[in-house]
Amino acid sequence: MQAIQLRYFALLREERGLAAEVIETTARTPRDLYQELAGRHGFSLPAERVGVAINESFAGMDRELAADDIVVFIPPVAGG
Amino acid sequence: MARFTIAATPFEHEPFEAALRDHRAGAYATFEGWVRDHNDGRKVARLDYEAFEPLAIAEAERILDEAQAKFAIHAARAVHRTGTLQLGDRAVWIGVAASHRDEAFRACRYIIDEIKARLPVWKKEHYAGGDAIWVNCQHAAPSELSFTPKLDESQLYARQLRLPEIGEAGQAKLKDARVLIVGMGGLGSAAAPSLAAAGVGTLGLVEHDELDASNLHRQLLYSATDIGKPKAQLAAARLSALNPFLSVRVHSDRLGPANCAEILAGYDLVLDCTDNFATKYLLNDAAHLLGVPVVQASLYQYEGQLQTIDAASDGGCLRCIHPAPPPAGAVGNCAEVGVLGVVPQLFGALQAAEALKRLLGMPGQLSDATLLFDLATFETQRFKRPRRPDCALCGEQPSITSLTDVTVAQAPPSEIEVDLASIDHATLRGARWIDLREPAERSGAVPPGTLSRPFGGFDADAPGFEPGPRTFLFCAAGRRSLRAAQKLRARGWSDVWSVRGGADAVRAILTETAE
Ligand SMILES: [Zn+2]
Ligand SMILES: [Zn+2]
């Protein structure tokens, strides 16, 4: 178990009903973490349609997570 | 008879000539402008002229006064056409009567030159290929200049010329710059006036829509009196009025893979102000395949993202983050999920700021970073955006090598969605129905006993959602009901379903069972 700081953007914030939270998880990658959250909260987008930033930079969904990482899930948006 | 006439239909010159007859006159010079079949190397099929009539008449009368004062002539008349003109039609007629031919010729020349330069008249060229462009170059610009004849362009920029990053040299760079704005909705109508006012020399506008009442809460460039008129043309007029030194080009075709390269070729920088994934991905790909940087903004309700896609930088592209667009309808646009008007205004201004920084060569650009801004919390986040080696566009072995239609896939049928047409009548009659639409959107018949639980205040604990009979959720299009069904399923409730196709599908089944 490690603590991860989560932030949600746009559609995901709406679906989660929260902008940020800290969770304890055994997920080793953003992909695993997203699947875990999607199951719990009923996210509508599949993992391959969601972008992720870890700390200061965009990253791949398969990068290894470390304790206290700030993970931001970013769905595609197109409004204008 | 006024000396200047605007003719909305083809006209004969004889009455105007007759009005100039004068026994003192030994010379009569005329000029006629005709519609020719080519312009700038393109075959022209016909033209539309449109004038700001009161201003055009006042300005033309002033020109005729000036001619009368400058040259020894007895009288002068001028006519300008508006409306649709065919090849060979007379667009302008000028007649001057004088004692001697020299003064008649010179005055005639003066009048046509000034009319071309100063009259607020727009020309829309229809080309042989079927497309059309509103031309509002210097020759046809509505010259507010003529009403403030002493206006010197540099006066407009006095406050920014003082900035050390700009100065005369920076202002000259802006004057030379050509920026294409794709989409004149919320983002575009905020970005465009900022760039025009800053002195960007050439602006291109891509927009094929007409002004709708629902645009006005966020598109402050337009007026309620112009509802129903073409936005590109309204924007061009407003921008030229704001900065008469600006050259505005209007592209009223929809941007697609076929015309993208041709349109982008005339510009140094593109602002993606669109609100759909297909065009966003097209412009993203164009940034790499055509080498034109694209400043991209995308919004969601109170939030937005800003980034620049630049093949010359080592930053990643949109596909590095989201390799392909989401299925149609999976993520709402402004029309579907709503947007607070200041959000596009702010992001349009941020796009203009990024464009100016780029044109001026200032640091801190977003070619390798993405800015997220949430107006609900006023929180900003800035992320580095490295290229992904496996990106299909900008990676090491790109598979996208030409511009093609970006297909936005239809969402696959979800296993918690139902097609009502495939369900038997007994089941439909025995079900619990929940309408998730907001009160203002409700219209049409619903099954008897339908509960109303607007999605805006969705609460899974509200009475009606608890496990019970088979439950069908519906909204307008089926997106919110799918969301709600997912939330209820996530609680472990199994007999709750989202109606595919929304209220229309419900109405169809009611009509059918009534028959
Ligand atoms: Zn929009
Ligand atoms: Zn890329």
> Which of B170, B194, B339 is CA-nearest to residue B271?
B194
Q: Is B199 left (phi over 0), alpha (psi -120 to 50) or beta?
A: left
Residue of B nearest to A50 (CA): B322
Decide if B490 and A60 are in contact by the 8 Å CB cutoff. no
Give the total number of structural domains in chain B. Answer: 3
Q: Is B209 left (phi over 0), alpha (psi -120 to 50) or beta?
A: beta
Q: Are residues B341 and B427 in the same domain?
A: no
Other C-beta atoms closer than 10 Å to the C-beta of B40 total 9
CA distance B180 to chain A (A): 16
Decide if B303 and A77 are in contact by the 8 Å CB cutoff. yes
A1-28: pLDDT as tens digits: 899 999 998 889 888 888 899 999 999 9
**CATH number assigned to the domain comprising residue B212:** 3.40.50.720
What ipTM did this prediction achieve?
0.88
Burial label for B282, CB within 10 Å (0-12, 13-18, 19+), is buried
Tokens of B176: 């030379």
Q: Are residues B390 and B466 in the same domain?
A: no
Four-point Cα dihedral B93, B97, B102, B108, nearest 10: -20
The b-or-e profile of B150-188 (16+ CB within 10 A means b, else e) is: eeeeeebbeebeeeeebeeebbebbeebbbbbbbbbbbb
Largest CA distance in chain B: 101
Q: Compute the distance between CA of residue B13 and CA of residue B21 in angstroms, rounded to an integer.
A: 13
Q: Are residues B88 and B162 in the same domain?
A: no
Decide if B385 and A77 are in contact by the 8 Å CB cutoff. no
Domain edge (last residue) among B77, B103, B130: B130
Banded pLDDT at B107 (limits 50, 70, 90): very high
**CATH number assigned to the domain comprising residue B500:** 3.40.250.10
Sort strands B432-435 and B471-474 into parallel, antiparallel or unpaired: parallel
Q: Are residues B337 and B284 in the same domain?
A: yes
Domain edge (last residue) among B361, B378, B404: B404
Residue type, B228: G
Choice among A44-58, B42-56, B374-388 with the minimum mean pLDDT = B42-56
Q: Are residues B118 and B241 in the same domain?
A: no
Residue of B nearest to A45 (CA): B330
Query: What backbone phi and psi angles, to 5 degrees, belong to B148?
Result: -130, 75
**Domain-embedded: residue B365:** yes
Is the Cα dihedral B113, B115, B120, B126 positive or negative?
A: negative
B477 CA to centre of ligand 1 in angstroms: 18
Q: Are residues B288 and B368 in the same domain?
A: yes
Residues of B in contact with A72 (CB under 8 A): 372, 381, 383
B459-493: pLDDT as tens digits: 888 888 888 889 999 998 888 898 888 888 877 78
Whether the model pTM is above 0.80: no
B149-188: pLDDT as tens digits: 457 888 899 999 999 999 999 999 999 999 999 999 999 9
State the average pLDDT over residues A44-59. Answer: 92
Residue B153 near residue B69 (C-beta atoms within 8 A): no
A20 by DSSP, 3-state: which? strand
Q: Are residues B168 and B311 in the same domain?
A: yes
Q: Are residues B400 and B419 in the same domain?
A: no
Tokens of B130: 């079927």
**CATH number assigned to the domain comprising residue B17:** 3.90.1170.40
Q: Compute the distance between CA of residue B484 and CA of residue B37 in angstroms, rounded to an integer.
A: 60
Q: Are residues B83 and B156 in the same domain?
A: no
Domain edge (last residue) among B74, B101, B130: B130
The b-or-e profile of B225-262 (16+ CB within 10 A means b, else e) is: ebeeebbbbbbbbbbbbebbbbbbbbbbeebeeeebee
Q: Are residues B355 and B301 in the same domain?
A: yes
Decide if B299 and A44 are in contact by the 8 Å CB cutoff. no
Q: What pLDDT is recorded for position B136? A: 52
Q: Are residues B264 and B349 in the same domain?
A: yes
Give me the long-range contacts of A47-50 (CB less than 8 A, separation at least 24).
A48/B323, A49/A75, A49/A76, A49/B322, A49/B324, A49/B326, A49/B327, A49/B330, A50/A12, A50/A74, A50/A75, A50/B322
Q: Are residues B21 and B159 in the same domain?
A: no
Residue of B nearest to A53 (CA): B383
**Domain-embedded: residue B140:** no
B319 CA to centre of ligand 2 in angstroms: 5
Other C-beta atoms closer than 10 Å to the C-beta of B201 total 18
What residues 5-34 of chain A have any CB closer than 8 A to a CB of chain B?
A: 7, 9-11, 13-15, 19
Tokens of B431: 């079900």
The b-or-e profile of B329-338 (16+ CB within 10 A means b, else e) is: ebbbbbeebe
**Domain-embedded: residue B137:** no
**Domain-embedded: residue B144:** no
- State which fold the A2-74 domain adopts: Ubiquitin-like (UB roll) (3.10.20)
Residue type, A32: D
**Domain-embedded: residue B135:** no
CA distance B129 to chain A (A): 30
> Which of B365, B370, B391, B392 is CA-nearest to residue B381?
B370
State the average pLDDT over residues B352-380. Answer: 95
Q: Compute the distance between CA of residue A7 and CA of residue B303 in angstroms, rounded to an integer.
A: 13
Banded pLDDT at B421 (limits 50, 70, 90): confident
Q: Compute the distance between CA of residue A26 and CA of residue A37 in angstroms, rounded to an integer.
A: 12
**Domain-embedded: residue B139:** no
For chain A, domain boundaries: 2-74
Banded pLDDT at B1 (limits 50, 70, 90): low
Residue A58 near residue B344 (C-beta atoms within 8 A): no
Q: Where would I find the beta strands (DSSP E) of B395-431? A: 417-418
Show the domain range for B250. 149-404
